Amino acid sequence: MIHRSPAALAAGLALALSAASAAAADPQALRYGQAFSAERSVFSLPIHIAQRHGQFAREGLAVRQFFIAGGADKMIDALNDGTVELTHVATPFLIQRVLAGDDVVAIAAEFNDPIYSLVARPEIKSFGDLKGKLVGMADEAGPIAMAMNALLARHGLAVGDIRVETISGTPQRLACLKRGACEAVPLGQPQDVTAEREGYRILGTSREVAPPFLYTVTAARRGWAEAHKDVVVRYVRALAAAFRFIRDPANRSTVAASIVEDTGCTEADARATLALYLEPERHVLPRQGEIDREAMKRSIALMRDAGQLTAPLPPADRFVDLQYLRAAGVE
């Protein structure tokens, strides 16, 4: 056994404290790409929780959001041109870009299986009332539009029965509905909760037609992630801690307050959103950022059903890299 003098132990402790202080003073900077349309929605919740409640800071990370203008495909462009190191992206856009040759990959899940409501103005009492009316739709290549088109078809509305305008983001679609330009729009939470309370009508939800799929992920360039494995693992570990924080009933008021801050909704509507996700468990939120490969397979199948992919379908493992989740103790 090696015996050290009190002076040596004190010197070692001072050195360790000095190193910890330096690390705290100089955290690793990370640029995270976010769509403008997601900033005022619940889909920013895990990232904002990790920023506001110290999960990133405890991993020695300073994560800065960069807002990316344009469609969802621009999120991958921002990775490729070095604008950001990590980005939020819906799985169909990731899949499309990988198949087109981009060397990007999902490293963690952000939202699993979303609940989108088709919300109509009060005078629209049924799907049939939408014939010839304007529906503000999400990007046609994305999963929201895929689900909404399937929902409309289930209720007897074919392509051409309605007029469509592409509007990115739940807040923007809600604004179109409220000013009367749109007769119906797909909304996520908490905006659909708020709209229903204000007298708008929910005609149906994505859950009626879409199988459970993987909605949004954090993506990175493979080469960058492999060269910065320690940083990526710390990011994934912080995200996992943020999801545990969100799910802890003791934090319900704090998480609701974060949703209010992000979306401008009432606390009651924020709490209703969390209850919708968690009481009972509906698997909207990952438990720790884990990637469900079966859900990724269903995302691929959803694209096939929408005519975006043909057989043979690519394997889910082509689009995910689980090594960082495993190193963080999540997978």
**Band (72; pLDDT cuts 50, 70, 90):** confident
Residue 63 phi, psi dihedral angles, 5° rounding: -90, 120
Q: Is 160 exposed, middle or buried (0-12, 13-18, 19+ CB in 10 A)?
A: exposed
Q: What is the pLDDT of residue 331?
A: 78
Contact by Cβ (8 Å): 58, 112: no
Residue 7 pLDDT > 70: no
Length of the chain, please?
Answer: 331
d(CA 148, CA 146): 6
> Which of 22-26, 202-206, 266-270, 281-285 is least confident?
22-26
Chain segment 239-278, per-residue pLDDT in tens? 999 999 999 999 999 999 999 999 999 999 999 999 999 9
Task: Provide the mean pLDDT of the chain.
Answer: 91
Q: Which CATH number fits domain 117-208: 3.30.70.2520, 3.40.30.10, 3.40.190.10, 2.60.40.60?
A: 3.40.190.10
Residue 190 pLDDT > 50: yes
The superfamily (CATH) of domain 27-113+213-327 is Periplasmic binding protein-like II (3.40.190.10)
Chain segment 126-172, per-residue pLDDT in tens? 999 999 999 999 988 889 999 999 999 999 998 899 999 999 888 88
Chain segment 208-246, per-residue pLDDT in tens? 998 899 999 999 999 999 999 999 999 999 999 999 999
Token pair 């344009």 in the structure block, residue: 70
Residue 206 phi, psi dihedral angles, 5° rounding: -60, -25
**Band (41; pLDDT cuts 50, 70, 90):** confident
Nearest Cα residue to 31 out of 242, 231, 227: 231
| Domain 27-113+213-327 matches domain 117-208 at the CATH topology level | yes
Give the DSSP H or E segment for 67: strand 61-68
Mean pLDDT of 32-39: 85
Q: What is the DSSP letter of 279?
A: T
d(CA 224, CA 247): 31
Q: What is the pLDDT of residue 167?
A: 93
Secondary structure string (H, E, C) spanning 197-246: HCCCEEEEEHHHCCCCCCCEEEEEEHHHHHHCHHHHHHHHHHHHHHHHHH
Domain residue spans of the chain: 27-113+213-327, 117-208
